[in-house]
Structure 1
Amino acid sequence: MGFEGGCRCGAVRYELEADNLPPTYACHCVDCQTWSGSAFSLHAIVAEDALTISDSGHTFRLPEGQEAMPSEHIGCAACLTRIASRNPALPGFLVLRVGTLDRSSEVAPAMHIWTRQKQPWLTIEEGTPGFEVSPTPQEFAAAIAG
């Protein structure tokens, strides 16, 4: 079984090989707010070899010093949708932008990170784990596992 997704204009498509939709997390950091143009961004960490992105995917990096965690971004050069990113903190994995999944309406964040920067009007569902900044890898794994 797998899941499909793509950019806004449809030029870049991808397939995620997985039995279930991936667990997701909402990041409320200012960078994610700015990148997404919204209050937070939804992400899922997926194995790099489980995600096949069409050849039309465009890879780019921001100039040094413009990101807290320098990353390589993969997306669409036509509509500028970011599909995923890769960074040295997660070798062998990609951070998938969950909103690009065709079935994005079926996912809900298993946890929230960088809540100290979240918009004050946003309420996080009671019982959903939250972290004021980035959790440790162990805290992240425990929270995302549910």
Structure 2
Amino acid sequence: MELQGSCRCGAVRFSCRSHTPVPYQRCYCSICRKVGGSGYSINLCAQADSLKVEGRENLHTYRVMLPGESGGALQPTTNARFFCKECGCYLWAQDPSWPHWFYPFASAIDSELPKPPHSVHLMLGSKASWVEPQVGPKDETYEEYPELSIEEWHKKHRLYVE
């Protein structure tokens, strides 16, 4: 499925192809919570070689920082979050550990996305105390990461788009 996305101010526009366009995951980790708003963030998965960007000069990256060994000082990871330097809108995440993929934020997608049959709430062990997850009757919940990848989940639910 072809996806079109942009930042809030329009300085960055992008398009990509995704086999997994259903925004079903709601991540409550401290990173997504801080950059995604609403207490969680929803990422999609798309093919890295399909990414086309207009306004690349307006992009800036943030390298995710995690505590070092034994809770030591924060250390940069290879995971990068791309955002518009004009309006601050987060657009996608990318990590060289998975060179064929990148992860657009569903909030940055302008195309109509399919409605998920249910949601998967993950990293609930990291949620802020004030966040009250809206868990539906068919939703799945996980303290950390679920076993199924984004691709596996889409295939299991027959939502994988060729």
TM class, shorter-length: 0.7 to 0.9
**Contact 1:84–1:95 (CA under 8 A) maintained in structure 2:** yes
- Structure 1 residue 67: deviation in Å? 6.9
Structure 1 vs Structure 2 CA RMSD: 2.8
- Give the share of equivalent positions with the same residue, in percent: 19
| Structure 1 residues 104 and 88, CA gap change in structure 2 (3 angstroms) | same
CA distance in 2, matches of 1:133, 1:63: 18
**Contact 2:35–2:90 (CA under 8 A) maintained in structure 1:** no
What amino acid is the match of 1:134? Y
Q: Which residue of 1 aligns with 2:46?
A: 46
Matched residue of 2:102: which SS? strand
Selected match of 2:102 from 90, 94, 99: 94
The answer on 1:116 being equivalent to 2:117 is no
In the superposition, the TM-score normalised over structure 2's length comes to 0.71
- Structure 1 residue 104: deviation in Å? 5.7
Structure 2 runs not aligned, ≥5 long: 67-73, 158-162
Q: Which residue of 1 aligns with 2:93?
A: 85
Query: Rg bigger for which structure?
Result: 2
- Structure 1 residue 107: deviation in Å? 4.1
Note the alpha carbon deviations across 1:29-69, whole angstroms, 9 max, x for none.
12211112321001011111122122435142337545785
CA distance in 2, matches of 1:144, 1:63: 27
**Contact 2:64–2:80 (CA under 8 A) maintained in structure 1:** no
Structure 1 runs not aligned, ≥5 long: none
Does 73-82 or 96-105 show the bigger shift? Answer: 96-105
What amino acid is the match of 1:133? E
| Structure 1 residues 78 and 10, CA gap change in structure 2 (3 angstroms) | same
CA distance in 1, matches of 2:112, 2:54: 19
The answer on 1:3 being equivalent to 2:12 is no
The alignment of Structure 1 onto Structure 2 pairs a total of residues equal to 143
What amino acid is the match of 1:85? A
Aligned counterparts, 1:1-146, within 5 A: 2-18=2-18, 22-24=21-23, 25-56=25-56, 57-62=58-63, 65=66, 66=74, 69-103=77-111, 106-108=114-116, 110-118=119-127, 120-136=131-147, 139-140=148-149, 141-145=151-155, 146=157
